[in-house]
Amino acid sequence: MSQSIVSSTNLETKSLVFECETGNYHTFCPISCVSWLYQKIEDSFFLVIGTKTCGYFLQNALGVMIFAEPRYAMAELEESDISAQLNDYKELKRLCLQIKQDRNPSVIVWIGTCTTEIIKMDLEGMAPRLEREIGIPIVVARANGLDYAFTQGEDTVLSAMAQRCPEFQSNGENTDLAPSLAVLESTSECKEQILSKANVDPLVLFGSVPNTVATELNLELNRQGIEISGWLPSQHYVNLPALGKNVYVCGINPFLSRTATTLMRRRKCQLIGAPFPIGPDGTRAWIEKICSIFNIVPQGLEEREKKIWQSLENDLQLIRGKSVFFMGDNLLEVSLARFLIRCGMIVYEIGIPYMDRRFQASELEFLEKTCLEMNVPIPRIIEKPDNYYQIQRIRELQPDLVITGMAHANPLEARGITTKWSVEFTFSQIHGFSNARQILDLVIRPLKRQKTLKNFNFTK
């Protein structure tokens, strides 16, 4: 038996252990981020610059969204383009002028693919010139298959957009509050409250989530007296948040490490390192960390989390004691594993394509704390897992559920192993207190299906 298998099946781990197997990446192409970003940024248009293969992929990946009018297109590179026989600038200008005439978006996002990387297309050099000619902002994002996971396509787009956000101006005085102060001049307490809010540094959240989820997270922070000054991305490109050295930023997804780096290094923002708001436990820890930064004592979070867990009790009874194995696909693995351990499941292994330990430091610490509180072994984290070794470990451990990419689901199911597509967690609403049930539904559904199949008599 391989040493890799032996080390990873040792379930007596008492502290976080990281391994790297340098296996191949088995994930979607990052240009799939177009499917959710064009819906989030309502006044945008995405132009994917690649080959026919990229077009076929988008056609299949986004084909389920036939009821929504798409705001994306392909700029297909032919053999003459790749051999540099044609003028790339003229063709991109023609397409962007057509987009302006047909849609007139507030921003055009160029998505560079693997081919543009290989042939060294100077997208960043062409974009400013064309932007001046057509009068529409052009954002260049290199969301190509050379990234670790498909969710990092969003990371490259948000990192590029962060550099287009306006500069935050801190003058020490807020002129917008002058009328309020004049009206309440005789009431010193009210005047002090308004001034205290005016002096609080702004908070910007980054990560693309549906508007309903964004509204819920806004309300949760509002209950604690914290106002959100903006989101990256915003619902409209023209409403991008102001950024600067006096602005706090906090991420809501673990795959946004490049965006976090851009916000800190280039925009001089102050990053709040917190666990991610996935599950009731993660949401509470996320809010508490933000409150601590603003010197606010959180109110009612313990009771709110307790009520959510009580409402989930019937579902929790179905998964307590069950085991789960993460093969690694979308970089949400650590947060999901932490939540499922809190639910009473046993996590054998957390496979993950890429691990930024600095950006996920709070989440990793929270995972370790959760395992100690639940009195269960801490699962090993395998970066860039080798699928050959993983399948051998799955055969040995026989987990009740394997959360994996679409490529491995059917082969594993054919061998009697219950699976769940990890991509479904990406496209589902899993953030905040109220969406914890959505995560449990995704986990319980394949377990119920497997139980039904075992009880079904095929001989009749």
Q: Residue 314, exposed/middle/buried by CB under 10 A (0-12, 13-18, 19+)?
A: exposed
Give the contacts of 280 (CB within 8 A, at least 6 positions apart). Answer: 304, 305, 308, 309, 433, 436
Q: Classify 346 in phi/psi space as left (phi over 0), alpha (psi -120 to 50) or beta.
A: beta
Q: Is 96 annotated as a binding residue?
A: no
Q: Record the tokens describing residue 26, joined without a space.
A: 């088995």
Q: Is 190 annotated as a binding residue?
A: no
DSSP-assigned letter for residue 86: S
Q: Is 114 annotated as a binding residue?
A: yes
Give the contacts of 269 (CB within 8 A, at least 6 positions apart). Answer: 204, 243, 244, 245, 247, 248, 249, 263
Give the contacts of 48 (CB within 8 A, at least 6 positions apart). Answer: 31, 34, 54, 55, 58, 72, 73, 74, 75, 111, 113
**Alpha carbon of 136 to those of 37, 43, 97, 237, 252: distances in Å?**
18, 12, 10, 11, 29
Q: Record the tokens describing residue 110, joined without a space.
A: 């160029």
Are 215 and 255 in contact by the 8 Å Cβ rule? The answer is no
Binding residues: 29, 54, 114
Binding residues for [4Fe-4S] cluster: 29, 54, 114
